[in-house]
């Protein structure tokens, strides 16, 4: 397949899509992605996503499909499952979830009955929508009870969590987060769950790559029943979801993904996941995971040096949340807009018990998976911290134009993988 030829064809056949694609390439190349849930995937992933595996329907599982013509799809899905189990020390893996939300939904629907109680982290304290936010369908189907963090360091209040578990007797205790900069005490979660006879699930969507790289704890090593992770964040794969579980849950989980929740898996995505899991098992990826953490600490330090207030005071993983109301007297939406103008892409974020609404919250979330994938290190994190603080402190047109030039000069030195 000649990719340049295909690009030329696209330019003549569909100018509107071609120009949007070119503009997006320029945006990704010239700007810098700092949203902690985004990344630049491994370059090798892109051709597999655009491969002929997208043509194939493969409902079912290897060796038990509803359609013919499966020798090659069986090969890639079997490889993906085996690689996932080896990388995450899991007894069973399901690689078919189309993304993170259906992945979590499949676990709840497979292991629980409607109306069952789930204990999960409060959304404003860092949990995800699928962890029971009232606006999500999961919040209507199951009865969610929410635990919170306490104190300046943002620790999970494990004593309060245990008390809640004893009072509410959940069938499932969920940990994991979208916006929590601290490490989780998985062993303590498991002890609490054992006390009340609950199952445990860790949604490590954000930190899956850091667990694969061996730099953060693996919940499965602490006896968790289920671990879920998206494949497109710190893991650097295609958009998708991965469910890892004990062998005793394999049948229920597989039946819940298909035919319970989904139809045909996206086999181009499964092929790209299989490749991602191979690349994530290398020493180079372990070094990448280490650098993500080193860079996160360096960026947090740089922001603190510029008098920025960070929620929980710092970070133990790949992300941090700035309290922009307290630091700059503007809300998260305004801060995001200012940084967009100098091509630093971030996202507005609610903070624990935020008095402000989600579209104008008090926080801004940043992370280091993407800049680290471009090869940036601690020196660049110090520059980025200064650029962010300068832009948000004095967002006038002249100053922003100068800062935007600095961003372009910085990104020109670090190509986007695959572009």
Ligand X SMILES: Cc1ncc(COP(=O)(O)O)c(C=O)c1O
Interface positions with ligand X (CB under 6 A) = 37, 99-101, 104, 128, 130, 176-178, 203, 205-206, 230
Residue 13 a catalytic site member:
no
Handedness of CA 13, 15, 17, 21 (dihedral sign): positive
Is 37 or 315 the residue whose CB approaches ligand X more closely?
A: 37
Q: In angstroms, rounded to a whole number, what is the distance separating the alpha carbons of residues 43 and 34?
A: 19
CB–CB of 130/97 below 8 Å? Answer: no
- Two tokens, residue 258: 């298909």
* Smallest distance, ligand X to C-beta of residue 404, A: 28
- Taking the chain, what is the end-to-end CA distance rounded to the nearest angstrom? 17
- CA–CA separation, 218 and 204 (whole Å): 9
Q: Are 228 and 249 in contact (CB under 8 A)?
A: no
Active site residue 40: no
How far is CA 398 from each of CA 27, 104, 342, 395, rounded to the nearest angstrom?
Answer: 21, 46, 11, 8
Element housing 88 (H / E): helix 71-88
- Least Å distance, CB 254 to ligand X, is 20
Q: How far is the CB of 197 from ligand X (least distance, A)?
A: 25
DSSP 179: S
On whether the CB atoms of residues 83 and 281 are closer than 8 A, the answer is yes
**Among the options 230, 315, 346, 411, which is catalytic?**
230
Partners of 199 in the beta sheet? 172
Closer CB to ligand X, 56 or 177, in the complex: 177
Give me 322's structure tokens.
Answer: 């700035």
Active site residue 372: no
Query: DSSP secondary-structure letter at 379?
Result: H
Q: Which is nearer to ligand X, 92 or 177 (CB)?
A: 177
3-state secondary structure of 218: coil
| Nearer to ligand X among residue 269 and residue 334 (C-beta) | 269
Query: Which residues lie across from 150 on neighbouring strands?
Result: 155
φ and ψ of 236, to 5 deg: 65, 30
Annotation marks residue 57 as catalytic: yes
Cis bond upstream, residue 259 (ω within 30):
yes
Point out the catalytic residue in the list 33, 203, 323, 380. 203
Q: SS3 for 167?
A: helix
Pick 23 or 359: Cβ nearer ligand X:
359
Which residue of the set 29, 38, 44, 57 is catalytic? 57
Longest Cα pair distance anywhere in the chain, in angstroms? Answer: 65
Element (H, E) at 117: strand 117-121
Nearer to ligand X, 263 or 402 (CB): 263
Position with the least CB separation from ligand X: 100
Q: Residue 261 Cβ, how far from ligand X at the closest point, in Å?
A: 13
State the catalytic residues.
57, 59, 203, 230, 233, 239
């Amino acid at each position: 397949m000649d990719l340049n030829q295909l690009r030329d064809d696209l330019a003549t056949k569909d100018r509107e899509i071609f120009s949007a694609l070119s503009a997006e390439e320029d945006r990704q190349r010239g700007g810098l992605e700092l949203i902690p849930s985004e990344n630049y995937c491994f370059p090798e992933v892109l051709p597999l996503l655009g491969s002929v595996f997208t043509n194939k329907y493969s409902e079912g599982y290897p060796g038990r499909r509803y359609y013919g013509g499966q020798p090659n799809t069986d090969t890639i899905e079997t490889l993906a499952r085996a690689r996932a189990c080896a990388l995450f020390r899991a007894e069973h893996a399901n690689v078919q979830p189309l993304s993170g939300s259906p992945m979590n939904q499949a676990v709840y629907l497979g292991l629980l009955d409607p109306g069952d109680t789930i204990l999960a982290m409060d959304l404003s304290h860092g949990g995800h929508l699928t962890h029971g936010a009232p606006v999500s369908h999961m919040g209507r189907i199951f009865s969610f009870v929410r635990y919170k963090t306490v104190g300046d360091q943002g620790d999970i209040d494990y004593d309060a969590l245990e008390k809640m578990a004893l009072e509410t007797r959940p069938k499932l205790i969920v940990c994991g987060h979208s916006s929590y900069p601290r490490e989780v005490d998985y062993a303590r979660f498991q002890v609490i769950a054992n006390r009340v006879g609950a199952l445990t699930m860790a949604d490590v969507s954000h930190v899956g790559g850091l667990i694969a790289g061996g730099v953060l704890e693996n919940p499965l090593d602490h006896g968790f029943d289920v671990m879920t992770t998206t494949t497109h964040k710190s893991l650097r794969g295609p958009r998708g979801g991965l469910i890892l579980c004990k062998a005793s849950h394999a049948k229920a989980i597989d039946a819940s993904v298909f035919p319970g929740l989904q139809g045909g898996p996206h086999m181009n995505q499964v092929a790209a996941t299989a490749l991602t899991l191979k690349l994530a098992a290398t020493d180079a990826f372990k070094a990448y995971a280490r650098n993500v953490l080193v860079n996160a600490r360096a960026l947090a330090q740089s922001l603190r040096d510029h008098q920025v207030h960070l929620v929980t005071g710092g970070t133990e993983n790949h992300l941090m949340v700035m309290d922009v109301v307290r630091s700059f007297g503007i809300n998260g939406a305004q801060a995001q807009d200012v940084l967009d103008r100098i091509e630093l892409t971030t996202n507005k974020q609610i903070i624990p018990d935020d008095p402000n609404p989600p579209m104008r919250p008090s926080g801004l979330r940043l992370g280091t998976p993407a800049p680290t994938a471009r090869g940036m290190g601690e020196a660049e994190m110090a520059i980025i911290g200064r650029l962010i603080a300068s832009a948000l402190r004095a967002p006038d047109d002249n100053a922003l134009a100068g800062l935007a030039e600095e961003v372009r000069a910085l990104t020109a030195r670090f190509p986007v993988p695959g572009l």
